[in-house]
Structure 1
Amino acid sequence: MSMSEEFACCTPLAREPLSADQAARVAPMLKALADPVRLRLMSMVMSREGAEACACELLPAFELSQPTISHHLKVLHESGLVERDKRGVWVYYRARPEAIAALGSLFDSALAPA
Structure 2
Amino acid sequence: MPALPWWGKGFLLVLIVMSLRYYWRLHISRVAPNAVQEVRFYQVDNALVRTASAGFFARLDDSSFLHPWVCVLNWRTLNGKLYSLIVMSDSVPPDVLRQLRVRVKFSPADMPKK
Q: TM-score range by the shorter chain?
A: under 0.3
Taking CA–CA contacts closer than 8 Å with sequence separation of 6 or more, which of the two structures ends up with the larger relative contact order? Answer: 1
Give the structure with higher Rg (CA). 2
Q: Which has the higher helix share?
A: 1
Q: Which has the higher strand share?
A: 2
Give the structure-2-normalised TM-score: 0.26
